[in-house]
Amino acid sequence: MQERPTVAVLCHTGAGGSGVVATELGLQVARSGHEVHFVGPAMPFRLMGHQGFRGPYFHQISSFAYALFDQPYPELAAANTLAEVIQEYGVDLTHAHYAIPHATAANHARAITGRGRVITTLHGTDVTLVGAEPAFRQTTRHAIERSDHVTAVSHFLAEQTREVFGTQREIEVIHNFVDSGRFVRITDPAVRARFAHPEEALIVHVSNFRPVKRVEDVVQVFARVASELPARLLMVGDGPERARAFDLARELGVIGRTQFLGSFPDVQTVLGISDLFLLPSSNESFGLAALEAMSCEMPVVASRAGGIPEVVEHGVNGFLADVGDVDAMADAALRVLRDRDLYTRMSAAARETAVTRFHPGLIVPQYLAAYRRTVREG
Ligand code: GMT
């Protein structure tokens, strides 16, 4: 029996929750003595600077732009490079994060090499958005059913997967986690002074600015809050809705108090100095960004959508409101920002949630146990 299987990881490499979880997990798995090989078109952004000579290792997918091809066929290229890595390093298990194209490529590489097992972790939009699209429903269902083990990041997502694909297969729920040693409150006033005056409330949103994040609601909520008390908004990340959020901030007269910071890996600095996190998504399988904020002692105002209530407890570590109800979100934000005692209670509860329920020490062993089980059953 292989107690420390050699693991390959396939994930999205840009800023985004699934790639962040894949990278943070891969680093923890490597620290626990496993050989870990990331395979991707580029190095995952949170992996940069964290590689040692003992790994985790990174292998870039080689592709070939032949003139006859109207597309680069990334899934085939990923399966090809992964198959090489499996053979060369004796990989026992591939952990595919996100069903399409990663689970598909991992299953394909297993078929090519005739070795290794496949664990697929479903992250959210791979099921609720991409997988639910008729264009990808069959391939996503197949990728899930052919994986040797499947995990989902929330009970909500496991249920959604069964509903969308009508599958009865076992799906283990393993929540996202946060490194509560790194995501901490930053008390140095000089860091905060770069973004806000001491009397201003600092409100923050972090995402990939896709339509599902409803970034215009962030600006709407902020404009209502800023009309009642001194406040600033930090918008971290980038994506297709950034320009609309920018235009709306200008239209609502809050552009001078809003900073669009773009995307960067050490988001913990911005979270560590902010006061309140907004997550008004129309759907969210878990809400990793909110959990990272909570670890920094920040209450969260979010929509009551998807798996968010598995993390944000209404009235305890934040407030929940219906999707699109910007008035209720603004009222909740004002309530917690104005009431010092409530703020202190909620920020302490937010930190406690992160440390007691979503600490790597609790979550990573669940993945490691799943690795061992899956390899043993092979
Ligand atoms: O939409 C994002 O935030 C990116 C997306 C991804 O797959 O990269 O995030 C999903 O996975 C995260 C990690 O498991 C979850 O915490 C997010 O809730 C989930 N996003 C959605 O469901 C919209």
Mutate to test the pocket of ligand 1, among 279, 285, 358, 367 (most ligand atoms within 8 A of CB): 285
5 lines ligand 1 (CB under 6 A): no
- Determine the pLDDT at residue 1: 45
Q: Residues 263-267: what's their mean pLDDT?
A: 82
Ligand 1 centroid to 363 CA: how many Å?
17
pLDDT digits (tens, 9 = 90+) for 183-219: 999 999 999 999 999 999 999 999 999 999 999 999 9
- DSSP characters for 217-256? HHHHHHHHHHTTS-EEEEEE---TTHHHHHHHHHHTT-GG
287 lines ligand 1 (CB under 6 A): yes
Provide Rg for the chain, Cα atoms.
Answer: 21
Ligand 1 centroid to 190 CA: how many Å?
32
* Residue with CA at minimum distance from ligand 1 atom 9: 17
Mutate to test the pocket of ligand 1, among 157, 286, 312 (most ligand atoms within 8 A of CB): 286
- Determine the pLDDT at residue 45: 86
Ligand 1 centroid to 333 CA: how many Å?
24
Q: Residues 28-51: what's their mean pLDDT?
A: 92
pLDDT digits (tens, 9 = 90+) for 335-377: 999 999 999 999 999 999 999 999 999 999 999 999 999 999 9
% of the chain surpassing 70 pLDDT:
99
- Determine the pLDDT at residue 65: 86
CATH class of 189-357: alpha beta
pLDDT band at 2 (very low <50, low <70, confident <90, very high): low
Q: How far is CA 365 from CA 170, 245, 307, 308, 368, in A?
A: 19, 40, 22, 23, 5
CATH of domain 7-177+359-376: 3.40.50.2000
Give CA–CA dist 207/20, Å, rounded: 12
Token pair 């239209």: residue: 251
pLDDT digits (tens, 9 = 90+) for 135-156: 999 999 999 999 999 999 999 9
The answer to whether the peptide bond before residue 56 is cis (omega within 30 degrees of 0) is yes
User: Can you tell me which atom of ligand 1 is nearest the CA of 281?
Assistant: 23
239 lines ligand 1 (CB under 6 A): no
ipTM above 0.85 for this complex: yes
151 lines ligand 1 (CB under 6 A): no
The mean-pLDDT minimum among 126-130, 144-148, 225-229 falls in 126-130
AA letter at 371? Y
308 lines ligand 1 (CB under 6 A): no
* Residue with CA at minimum distance from ligand 1 atom 5: 17
Give CA–CA dist 183/296, Å, rounded: 5
Q: Where in the chain is the domain with CATH 3.40.50.2000?
A: 7-177+359-376, 189-357
pLDDT digits (tens, 9 = 90+) for 278-329: 999 999 999 999 999 999 999 999 999 999 999 999 999 999 999 999 999 9
Ligand 1 centroid to 234 CA: how many Å?
20
237 lines ligand 1 (CB under 6 A): no
Average per-residue pLDDT in the chain? Answer: 95
Burial class from Cβ neighbours inside 10 Å (0-12, 13-18, 19+) for residue 147 reads: buried
- Does pLDDT of 69 surpass 50? yes
Helix runs in 237-359, H state only: 242-251, 268-273, 288-295, 326-338, 340-357
- Determine the pLDDT at residue 144: 96
User: Can you tell me which atom of ligand 1 is nearest the CA of 283?
Assistant: 23
288 lines ligand 1 (CB under 6 A): yes
Ligand 1 centroid to 283 CA: how many Å?
10
